[in-house]
């Protein structure tokens, strides 16, 4: 066998050998610094922070803008929100023009003493930011005694006006950092194909610090952290809980309507973020994030949520969400499945109001079923048949929800096209017997519309022989139409939903939307920007964790926009090209002159 010529040439062999990676720091293009700086200005976060810091005593130090831009750069290039990485980025990886824009003092890249002094200024600047937003400033470098720690933790729960103002300001900063990416995508028409469907979830954010030591009477450094228990897990995760919303999409029961490869019609961005103590304000946090979406004018579609949200009391979740115009798609715990109660005589069966005479076998089809049986409904033909047989007995929608969220429902035996045949309804409302008519058995529609093809409501034999007075019948049987307003069912209203549980129309929404939110959680906890890795956000305190987590979600949204555009193959029109310039790689390598200082939010790089 003849050897390749490259193998016989020592010079070519040397050129083919892999070269070791250089220790020199990477160079970040000035265009990327300008893009992220403009992003911060446009979000309005800097104006809020500067207004709060104005008039505070002491040296101003580095601008907060410098630290926040450094954090975004560290997340983009190193997937880390550590202040140590911020110092390396600002000193070693950005060029001199960008350092001048951000206010990095000259000479900071000199000897080791100058670098240490600059790093201390970075830490002090971030400390000023967390201090001004903290409802109760305390020593975060040590474990506090339990009594003192309780007083500090109470500052996040009490009704003091100043403390509440700071908590609201911190949440507004977090909202603006997350929603700036949503605003950019919406402005350029990337949500045109979105129906307004949203999935909500609560995910654990582990803390770097250890939990409290009760034996020694010392609290944790993370005073507001707690134990987060995921569904089906008996081991808790010590840290905080993050309530996330994602722009989700449903699937068509018969598959995708468009031929060819299925692609998303919109980027599945994170639409909201609230960091809180585990187990507290789960419903109100989701409602807050939904409220922040109102100025965008998005449509209100379906909202899919897991059992943690179903457990919330009506006033904390279901009622305000319905008032906003969203339709709920929920799951239940094992003890809540089946018949859940009654309202005006109608049975509440798995979140849907049904005929009071629904057969027991259908009403209790899901009673006592565990999660494994519910998830394996595709493999259980018997359960699928029971779920399908339920449908004719549910009350039918007569009028959609009004501005208050009230809906009109009617008896399934009423109307010009009844779904069931009910002797009780015919007796109360004196419905004449239908005249004999010839039916074309080859016409499926005419055959299904005939009364003989509809299920009969099982009325007790004693009532058939001796009908009950009208006053003794359930309310839905006396008058076939009822109005259901938000909160009318009291404690049971948290179970009510707008798709029949486990029906194909319910699975058409719940399964894909839950997959969307779990996909976002998986992307946020992947090998890139991992929000579940506490070593990437080492700053102490809930204020610092909230800001760092909001910056992480902002960076994740930018990556989602860029990858979505590459996956869908969208044409680089003027609007999409501007988004690609903002979120993608640098448009061009840095030149000798650099860019103009991006001091105004409207400035963009020109190509």
* Residue 378 domain-assigned (yes or no): yes
CA distances from 26 to 49, 110, 111, 314, 571 (A): 31, 18, 20, 53, 31
* Residue 127 domain-assigned (yes or no): no
pLDDT at 44: 93
C-beta separation of 345 from 476 below 8 A:
yes
* Residue 295 domain-assigned (yes or no): yes
**Rounded Cα–Cα distance for residues 88 and 24 (Å):** 12
* Residue 3 domain-assigned (yes or no): no
Same domain for 470 and 536, yes or no, is: no
pTM: 0.86
How many domains is the chain partitioned into structurally?
2
**Rounded Cα–Cα distance for residues 194 and 496 (Å):** 25
Same domain for 311 and 426, yes or no, is: no
**Per-residue model confidence as pLDDT tens digits over 308-350:** 999 899 999 999 999 898 999 999 999 999 999 999 999 999 9
Of the candidate ranges 284-298, 516-530, 565-579, the one whose mean pLDDT is the lowest: 565-579
Q: Which residues lie across from 346 on neighbouring strands? A: 343
**Per-residue model confidence as pLDDT tens digits over 17-33:** 666 666 667 789 999 99
Using the structure block, give the residue that is written with the tokens 């409220």. 291
* Residue 100 domain-assigned (yes or no): no
C-beta separation of 67 from 75 below 8 A:
no
The number of beta carbons lying within 10 Å of the beta carbon of residue 560 is 21
Same domain for 223 and 276, yes or no, is: yes
**Rounded Cα–Cα distance for residues 394 and 484 (Å):** 14
Helix (H) or strand (E) holding 346: strand 346-349
Same domain for 350 and 475, yes or no, is: yes
Of 99, 101, 125, the closest CA to residue 110 belongs to: 99
Same domain for 190 and 310, yes or no, is: yes
Using the structure block, give the residue that is written with the tokens 């207004």. 51
CATH number at residue 558: 3.30.420
The 3 state secondary structure assigned to 115-129 is: HHHHHHHHHHHHHHH
Same domain for 354 and 391, yes or no, is: yes
Same domain for 272 and 406, yes or no, is: no
Same domain for 227 and 314, yes or no, is: yes
Domain of residue 514: give its range.
178-254+265-332+501-570
pLDDT at 601: 38
**Per-residue model confidence as pLDDT tens digits over 201-252:** 999 999 988 888 888 888 888 888 999 988 777 788 999 999 999 999 887 6
Same domain for 406 and 283, yes or no, is: no
Task: List the strands of the sheet with 407-410, edge to edge.
Answer: 396-399, 407-410, 481-484
Same domain for 219 and 235, yes or no, is: yes
Same domain for 395 and 531, yes or no, is: no
* Residue 200 domain-assigned (yes or no): yes
Tell me the backbone φ, ψ of residue 339, rounded to 5 degrees.
-75, 120
Same domain for 302 and 404, yes or no, is: no
* Residue 356 domain-assigned (yes or no): yes
**Rounded Cα–Cα distance for residues 417 and 567 (Å):** 47
pLDDT at 248: 93
* Residue 324 domain-assigned (yes or no): yes
């Amino acid at each position: 066998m003849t050897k390749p010529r490259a193998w016989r040439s020592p010079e070519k062999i040397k050129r083919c050998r892999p070269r070791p990676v250089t220790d020199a720091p990477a160079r970040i293009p000035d265009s990327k610094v300008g893009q992220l700086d403009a992003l911060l200005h446009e979000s309005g976060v800097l104006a809020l922070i500067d207004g709060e810091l104005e008039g505070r005593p002491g040296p101003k130090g580095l601008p907060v803008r410098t630290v926040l831009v450094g954090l975004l750069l560290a997340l983009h290039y190193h997937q880390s929100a550590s202040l140590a990485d911020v110092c390396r980025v600002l000193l070693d990886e950005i060029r001199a023009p960008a350092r001048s824009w951000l206010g990095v003092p000259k000479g900071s890249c000199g000897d080791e003493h100058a670098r240490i002094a600059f790093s201390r200024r970075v830490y002090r600047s971030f400390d000023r930011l967390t201090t001004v937003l903290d409802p109760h400033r305390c020593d975060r470098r040590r474990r506090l005694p339990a009594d003192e720690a309780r007083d500090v933790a109470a500052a996040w729960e009490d009704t003091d006006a100043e403390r509440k103002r700071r908590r609201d300001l911190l949440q507004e900063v977090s909202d603006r950092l997350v929603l700036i990416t949503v605003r950019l995508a919406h402005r350029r028409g990337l949500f045109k194909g979105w129906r307004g469907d949203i999935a909500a979830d609560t995910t654990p954010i582990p803390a770097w610090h250890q939990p409290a030591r009760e034996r020694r009477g010392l609290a944790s450094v993370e005073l507001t952290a707690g134990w987060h228990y995921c569904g089906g897990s008996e081991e808790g995760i010590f840290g905080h809980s993050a309530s996330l919303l994602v722009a989700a999409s449903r699937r068509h029961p018969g598959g995708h309507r468009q031929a060819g490869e299925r692609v998303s019609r919109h980027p599945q961005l994170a639409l909201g973020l609230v960091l809180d103590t585990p187990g507290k304000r789960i419903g109100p946090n989701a409602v807050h994030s939904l409220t922040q979406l109102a100025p965008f004018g998005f449509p209100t579609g379906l909202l899919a949520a897991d059992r943690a949200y179903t457990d919330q009391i009506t006033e904390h979740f279901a009622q305000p969400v319905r008032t906003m115009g969203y339709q709920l798609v929920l799951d239940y715990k094992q003890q809540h499945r089946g018949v859940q109660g009654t309202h005006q005589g109608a049975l509440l069966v798995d979140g849907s109001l049904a005929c009071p005479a629904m057969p027991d076998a259908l009403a209790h089809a899901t009673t006592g079923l565990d999660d494994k049986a519910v998830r394996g409904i595709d493999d259980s033909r018997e359960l699928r048949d029971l779920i399908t047989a339920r449908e004719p007995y549910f009350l039918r929608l007569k009028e959609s929800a009004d501005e208050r969220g009230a809906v009109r429902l009617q008896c399934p035996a009423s109307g010009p096209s009844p779904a069931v045949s009910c002797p009780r309804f015919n007796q109360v409302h004196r419905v004449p017997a239908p005249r004999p008519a010839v039916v074309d058995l080859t016409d499926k529609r005419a055959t299904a519309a005939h009364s003989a093809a509809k299920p009969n409501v099982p009325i007790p034999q004693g009532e058939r022989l001796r009908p009950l007075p009208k006053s003794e019948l359930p309310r839905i049987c006396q008058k076939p139409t009822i109005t259901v307003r938000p909160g009318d069912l009291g404690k049971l209203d948290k179970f009510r939903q707008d798709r029949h549980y486990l029906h194909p129309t319910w699975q058409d929404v719940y399964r894909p939307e839950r997959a969307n939110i779990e996909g976002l959680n998986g992307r946020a906890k992947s090998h890139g920007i991992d929000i579940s890795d506490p070593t990437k956000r080492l700053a102490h305190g809930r204020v610092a964790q909230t800001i760092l987590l909001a910056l992480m979600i902002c960076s994740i949204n930018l990556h989602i926009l860029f990858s979505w555009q590459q996956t869908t193959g969208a044409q680089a029109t003027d609007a999409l090209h501007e988004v690609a310039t903002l979120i993608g790689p640098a448009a061009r390598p840095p030149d000798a002159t650099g860019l103009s200082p991006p001091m105004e939010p409207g400035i963009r790089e020109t190509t």
